[in-house]
Amino acid sequence: MSWQFKLVSSMRASPFRACITRPNGLLLRPTARPAGDFSVSVPTMTQTKRLNSNKCLNIDNINPHIRAAKYAVRGELAVKAEEYRQRLTDGDKALPFDSVIFANIGNPQQLDQKPITFFRQVLSLVENPLLLENSDALKSSFGYNQDVIDRARTLLANVQSVGAYSHSQGALGIRNSVAKFIEERDGFPADPQDLFLTAGASSGVNTLLSVICNSPNAGVLVPIPQYPLYTATLALLNAQCVPYYLEEQRAWGTDVNAIYQSIKDAKAAGTDVRAVVVINPGNPTGASLSADDIKQVIDIAAEEHLVIIADEVYQTNVFEGEFVSIKKRLRQLQQEQPGKYDDVELVSMHSTSKGMVGECGHRGGYFELVGFDPLVQEQIYKLVSIGLCPPVVAQCLLETMVNPPRQGEPSYELYQKEYNGIRDGLRKRAFALYDAFQRMEGVECQKPQGSMYLFPTIKLPTKAVEAAKAEGRVADEFYCLRLLEATGVCVVPGSGFGQKENTLHFRTTFLAPGTDWVERIVKFHADFLQKYR
Amino acid sequence: MSWQFKLVSSMRASPFRACITRPNGLLLRPTARPAGDFSVSVPTMTQTKRLNSNKCLNIDNINPHIRAAKYAVRGELAVKAEEYRQRLTDGDKALPFDSVIFANIGNPQQLDQKPITFFRQVLSLVENPLLLENSDALKSSFGYNQDVIDRARTLLANVQSVGAYSHSQGALGIRNSVAKFIEERDGFPADPQDLFLTAGASSGVNTLLSVICNSPNAGVLVPIPQYPLYTATLALLNAQCVPYYLEEQRAWGTDVNAIYQSIKDAKAAGTDVRAVVVINPGNPTGASLSADDIKQVIDIAAEEHLVIIADEVYQTNVFEGEFVSIKKRLRQLQQEQPGKYDDVELVSMHSTSKGMVGECGHRGGYFELVGFDPLVQEQIYKLVSIGLCPPVVAQCLLETMVNPPRQGEPSYELYQKEYNGIRDGLRKRAFALYDAFQRMEGVECQKPQGSMYLFPTIKLPTKAVEAAKAEGRVADEFYCLRLLEATGVCVVPGSGFGQKENTLHFRTTFLAPGTDWVERIVKFHADFLQKYR
């Protein structure tokens, strides 16, 4: 049973519908653009061209898996939000708000988050090494410290030029730094041979799922709610998504029994379940897995011979407790119970896009292969070598991320100040938003634990649900659209991530500065309930 | 008939074999690494792990299309060259050469090519905008001109931060510059809505072929010899490569009759031929298509309803004549013969990796969609949006590449000097190498026309061919290996690109500085012929 097809039939808006068609047949532009850009992706050709059969390609004969893939994070609402933004820029006074807040995507530097100074100083030097010829001026005129200059020189020695292809796994010197970071974090060593630098975690997910999914029956366990990269990629690969529901009432915890049941059901349907995705900390939930939960996941993986895909890109966005990497837990278990866990295969992913770094646009990251068959690892190498290498500047950025200034070094103080400032700011905003949700009737939100998002449940009056139906919408999408129209705040309906039936949610980032936008939501919500009471 | 399978059976080394196994079963590490990096991609696990069946993944059960994909540009020879380089670094005096020359990949900045100053100055500023706060010091201490500062400010206005995700097609302001460049180049306008910035042309090829190949019967015409990205990607997609041979004796020209015949044969075998790849200027051949040849390709595309995939990344590496873009030719034909060419679909690809720019490591480029059905274009947009956006720094680099300093601007002189210097140096080296090939018995080389490569034919004595067979090798691979062992010069055997049966070639770049390495090849060749006469 294919997860995608079930949802297509039962819901109009879900992670599994890319094209939202209106009754009048007008095709909306469902794939929207991130904030800060105003263009329309579809040329202004009309339907007559569509009927033209002399072209090779049409919507019915392109790769059907591309059609099937859904990625709703940039859906209809984001398109509308962009239109509003443009209208405000053009001086439109008719809207009931004076700014649009893009709370739909985790793109910190599109809002007010500044990059970390040390990182960008180093990158400026690797981009233009001629600057290093006058280090005195760098110091006196621009405040570059010696450690910045030294780091740039080291990186240039590693890569020779950021304009040259590197090793397809990324420059060895940089992989050495990543290995050291992993060892310091976990207390267990990492081998640079097992590290693959990437153009971001999304790229790594694509690589890994391409290797693992060997037939249309291949299935991958995916937590619901999930960041819809996973379902989209599985659709592209014509493989099966095997959902397992997270437990909202247990702080979005991972319920191992749910995983067992999902495996059982999938196998009964003929699915060859080969991997389990764990997003830790979660997206959209922000929940961190406890050491116990991680052990249980590893147990299932060992018993059922599943590859564990550990998406750990939010590992430094943790408010509650401490992040424990799945690799660390695995190594601990391998020590505690020799033999039992020897064959567990794990891939751990990290990124320069999130955390306090927030360098989404640089497209950097890595994955670490743990316990893979060397011949399989060789094939993964071959696959990445076809794409030549990940962006070399981003490799350098990754190195500064995993090897930041240390105590005693001249850039340490400012680095710490900036890092902590961002961290504290994120925490403050998360809880301010959480507090606001407490004041909203019918809204329940799990306490912020991490990531950049809150994913509250909303209970809407029956009248609202009916109004939604009358518009041909799922209720949470209806709510979010009304929210946008009234307040200019753009969020993503929970149906975009998957949710248990008969529940409604939305995902919002807490990145936007100030509290005004939060109050807009509180007021809208009260008005909305009043209207549909 | 699948091209891949035929070659697998008839040749040991070809674009279609990734794993070269020795008679003793020892698996070589065929996927090698670019110069400048010393690591081995395979962990030091032994064959006992391979026999372990408790793991989920093994070589026989991963995605079979990954196994089938071959990408031999970084094959056995490059691995060996790297080992030699490391030995020399370690002080080994036993080798008959004192330097390794990596003439196997087009990676200019790994050799002695310097980046263009204007570009890197601008990139240093977009990486660290704080530098703009002291433009006086930028000018007085570092020689940055006002146009550099202005450009950085414009780009920052376009993207806000190089650390923020941009529009998935790339920042609009940058696409506007690319559209202007295309218009100036061709005399026909381009619409930024039809432009998709990429993380390099390889990424674009992957996107496009993913959309076009809709079933295992889908076929794509590929010129032979070709850059093996195409055959590799088609294998990954489980689609058919439909080869058409280029005409070595006609300066590697494109023979339209060959294309017609290939289509005919493919159709007879049940292949649905959907697209035709044209690499112009060619890789590995360097040949540019004449305006006539281009018209004939467009004619076939119009008649047979084929998407034209125009790989034009070497468009500024042209020694003979002038580059004419396929889009320009198409627009001209559409004007000259209204109606006949209206439905031709074309995608034109460009990159920041080649030309005089040579910024391979930045991973930048774009493709332009011409004549695509809007609903198909929307799906392409959706597909790229799953990967979020191309690296933003590389988008900025692309902008400076298509919009370099103009006459009258302060940075123009230096830019021209550097640009011309690189261009003249490349031309000089190409002809020096060509001249050397003239002095080599049994070696025939087409006059350099463009790109970064020469692809000479070699005729080897029967004894050499037999010696190759005795080693279980194709003769050109045997020759190239002996060349490497004797001289330290690493090239790529023609079998890695495809070639007509009973012909032998190798591809070498002409990027390496000096003439010493060329003389090593000349001497080796004479000795080789002497040995096997």
Provide the shortest C-alpha distance from residue B5 to chain A (in Å). Answer: 19
A203: chain B residues, CB-CB within 8 Å: 387
Distance between CA A371 and CA A298 in Å, rounded? 13
More confident residue, B53 or B511: B511
How far apart are the C-alpha atoms of B206 and B230, rounded to whole Å? 9
- Using 50, 70 and 90 to split pLDDT, how confident is the model at A172? very high
For residue B128, the chain A residues in CB contact (below 8 A) are 120-121, 123-124
Residue from the list A199, A206, A214 with its beta carbon closest to the beta carbon of B391: A199
Residue A378: closest CA among chain B residues belongs to which residue?
Answer: B42
Q: How far is A60 from chain B (nearest CA, A)?
A: 9
* A132 — pLDDT class (breaks 50, 70, 90): very high
**Pairwise pLDDT comparison (B50 vs B159), residue with the higher score:** B159
Residues A414-423: pLDDT tens digits?
999 999 999 9
The phi, psi pair for A264, rounded to 5°, reads -60, -50
Q: What ipTM describes this predicted complex? A: 0.90
Nearest C-alpha of chain A: how many angstroms from B528?
32
DSSP codes of every residue in A407-466: TTSTTHHHHHHHHHHHHHHHHHHHHHHHHHHHTSTTEE-PPP-BTTEE--EE---HHHHH
CB atoms within 10 A of CB A324: 21
Residue A107: φ, ψ to 5°: -130, 70
Contact between chains at B57 and A372 (C-beta distance less than 8 A): yes
Instruction: With CB atoms and an 8 Å threshold, state whether B169 touches A39.
Output: yes
Residue B127 has its nearest CB partner, among A107, A124, A379, at A124
Residue B22's pLDDT is 27
Q: Provide, as residue numbers in chain A, all residues whose Cβ is less than 8 Å from the Cβ of B129.
A: 120
Of A36, A165, A203, the CB nearest to B34: A165
The reply to whether residue A360 touches residue B125, judged by beta carbons under 8 angstroms, is no
Dihedral angle over CA of A314, A315, A316, A317, nearest 10: 40
pTM of the entire structure? 0.90
**pLDDT, average across residues A402-409:** 98
Residues of chain B with C-beta less than 8 angstroms from the C-beta of A391: 199, 361-363, 391, 393-394
Query: For position B460, what pLDDT does the model report?
Result: 95
Closest CB to B193 among A39, A192, A393: A39
Contact A391 B386 (CB under 8 A): no
- CB contact set of B60 (below 8 Å; sequence gap of 6+): none
Say what the pLDDT of residue B78 is: 85
pLDDT-derived band at B41, boundaries 50, 70, 90: very low
Residue A45 CA from chain centroid, whole number: 33
Q: Is the pLDDT of residue A207 over 70?
A: yes
- Tell me the H-state helices in B168-228: 172-186, 201-212
> Which phi and psi (to 5°) does residue B221 adopt?
-70, 130
> What's the confidence (pLDDT) of residue B120?
98
Contact state of B50 with A373 under an 8 Å Cβ cutoff: yes
Residue numbers in B near A343 (CB within 8 A): 52, 54-55
| CA neighbor of B39 nearest in space, from A163, A387, A197 | A197
**Range in B41-55, B375-389, B477-491 the model is least confident about:** B41-55
Distance from CA of A333 to the nearest CA of B (A): 17
Which has the higher per-residue pLDDT, B362 or B11? B362
For the beta sheet containing B506-509, the strands, ordered from the edge strand earlier in sequence to the opposite edge, are B453-454, B506-509, B492-493
Q: HEC states along A217-272?
A: CEEEEEEECCCCHHHHHHHHCCCEEEEEECEHHHCCECCHHHHHHHHHHHHHCCCE
Report the residue from B161, B374, B388 with minimal CB separation from A42: B374
pLDDT in tens, A339-349: 999 999 999 99
Label residue B52 by pLDDT band (50, 70, 90). low
- The residue of chain A with its CA nearest to that of B75 is A382
Asked if B302 and B259 touch (Cβ cutoff 8 Å), the reply is no
How far is the alpha carbon of A133 from chain B, nearest alpha carbon, in Å?
Answer: 9
- Mean pLDDT taken over chain A: 89
For chains A and B, CB pairs below 8 A equal 390
pLDDT tens for each residue of A446-491:
999 999 999 999 999 999 999 999 999 999 999 999 999 999 999 9
Euclidean distance between CA atoms B151 and A136, whole angstroms:
26
Is the CB of A137 less than 8 angstroms away from the CB of B134? no
Task: Identify the pLDDT of residue B71.
Answer: 82
Taking only the tens place, the pLDDT of each residue in A249-302 is 998 999 999 999 999 999 999 999 999 999 999 999 999 999 999 999 999 999
Asked whether the beta carbons of residue B206 and residue A343 sit closer than 8 angstroms, the reply is no
Q: In Å, how far is B133's CA from the nearest CA of chain A?
A: 9
B399 pLDDT more than 90:
yes
B49 pLDDT more than 90? no
Could you give the 3-state DSSP secondary structure of residue A277? strand
Residue A107: pLDDT band (50, 70, 90) is: very high
Q: DSSP string of A104-171? A: SS--GGGTTPPPPHHHHHHHHHHH-GGGGGGHHHHHHHH---HHHHHHHHHHHHHHS-TTS---TT--
Tell if the CB–CB gap between B64 and A214 is shorter than 8 Å: yes
Token pair of B64, please?
A: 């079979």
* CA atoms of A501 and A279, how far apart (whole Å): 21
Of residues A37, A275, A345, nearest to B171 (C-beta): A37
B20 pLDDT tier (thresholds 50, 70, 90): very low
Inter-chain contact B382–A66, Cβ cutoff 8 Å?
yes
